[in-house]
Amino acid sequence: MRPLEDVRIVSLEQYGAGPFGSMHLAELGAEIIKVEDPSVGGDVGRSVPPYAEGGDSLFFQSFNRDKSSITLDIRTPGGRAVFEDLVRTADAVYSNLRGDVPKKLAIRYEDLKEVNPRIVCCSLTGFGMTGPRSREPGYDYVLQALGGWMSLTGEPGGAPQKTGLSLVDYCGGYVAAISLLAAIHGARRDGVGTDCDLSLYDTAVSLLTYPGTWHMTAGYEPARTHHSAHPSLIPFQAFEAADGWLVVGCAKEKFWQRLTVVMDRPELAEDPRFATFADRNRNREVIIPLLEEIFRTRTVADWLAPMYAASIPCAPINDVAGALVDPHTLERDLVAETDNDTFGQVRTLRSAVRVGPPGADRAPTRGAPAMGADTERVLRELGYDDARIAALREAGALGKD
């Protein structure tokens, strides 16, 4: 058995952050019942271009493997009754909506504790359910701007940049998954559920980590660095070689000592200007141009071979295609292949979360569901008969055919 096969989560999720978080739980065996509002066409992720067709998209497939989908409008009386029946059987209600919406939809613990005293109500919102921005919509790009990330990304003197991936969304999904599991553990231990008020804003600000600590404690002013250099460890950045780019990371002094040998410049290790991290940081305007000149004299492959042999942290700067076919990607079983009626065979990325011995911790995976594909099955498991299901459909609670 997978470790979360006894966990049931009713999810009102959409787009990226929420579905990303629950997909990790699904891969670990949790039953994710994805509630999609038929009045708006379900999860908006189903229509994200460029690869979108017939109520499905490759974006949607990227975030919703191993889940079930039901159509349900919980704002209707019939839909609300179904939702509460689901809550009675569930460990958690999970959502990623605007901060004021959980109250409007009555999906907080205060609203559901009479239905199930042990229910965990986990809300991942843009800004949380309190604070002056709680009613604002929050998206990754917005949070990277507000959270200070864009001021740190890009070349000095250039325009602020977002990260290439939606990392606030994805980190927020991880935060939600961790919080939800902790709350379920507490509810099973104590018999009482709770709310989890999580936000992408909190996620973005908390991930400022040591630059934030340095600033608040010592007055450090974070700034963008040349070629993505570490703010204080030198050398630790991207370097241009004769035919491409690579990253070299001397995170310990021993790596610097080894690098000077690989470069055939052992005298640099003895130069008092470059002896320690602090020395090199004080003299970065001297050492960085010198290193850049040296690295341009050989190809990426010619640099990597001796650095690998010397166990110096380094890597070629791959494009996405290169990363996906790297032998380590394949050996670690990070690519999932599922069949899909619209797109044929879909290849997506599996979760980095793993439980089990190496090589034996991957269970079979299912593609993301068609909208409402599991509605009838889930309702019948709740004890609904043909007549009641037909009545719900006629009333618009499940969406009309």
Which alpha helices (DSSP H) does 64-162 contain, by range?
Answer: 77-89, 101-105, 109-112, 140-146
**Where is 239: in which H helix or E strand?**
strand 236-240
Cis peptide before 50 (omega within 30 of 0): yes
pLDDT digits (tens, 9 = 90+) for 245-295: 999 999 999 999 999 999 999 999 999 999 999 999 999 999 999 999 999
The catalytic residue positions are 169
For 8-206+355-394, CATH gives 3.40.50.10540
Average pLDDT of the chain?
A: 95
Predicted confidence band at 362 (pLDDT cuts at 50, 70, 90)?
confident
Domain ranges of the chain: 8-206+355-394, 226-317
Torsion of CA 89, 190, 104, 25, to 10 degrees: -60
pLDDT digits (tens, 9 = 90+) for 63-93: 999 999 999 999 999 999 999 999 999 999 9
pLDDT at position 173 over 70: yes
Share of the chain above pLDDT 90, in %: 96
Residue with tokens 């569901």: 369
**148: region left, alpha or beta (phi > 0 left; psi from -120 to 50 alpha):** left
- pLDDT for res 399: 86
- Residues sharing a CB contact under 8 Å with residue 326, sequence separation 6 or more, in sequence order: 318
Beta bridge partners of 243: none
* Three-class secondary structure of residue 199 per DSSP: strand
pLDDT at position 401 over 70: no
Using the 8-state DSSP alphabet, how is residue 110 labeled?
H
- pLDDT for res 234: 96
pTM: 0.92
Topology annotation, domain 226-317:
formyl-coa transferase, domain 3 (3.30.1540)
Beta bridge partners of 195: 121
Q: Is the dihedral of CA 136, 141, 147, 148 positive or negative?
A: negative
Predicted confidence band at 54 (pLDDT cuts at 50, 70, 90)?
very high
- Mean pLDDT in residue range 219-243: 95
* Three-class secondary structure of residue 104 per DSSP: helix
Q: Identify whether the C-beta of residue 43 lies closer than 8 Å to the C-beta of residue 60.
A: yes
**Where is 223: in which H helix or E strand?**
none
pLDDT at position 122 over 70: yes
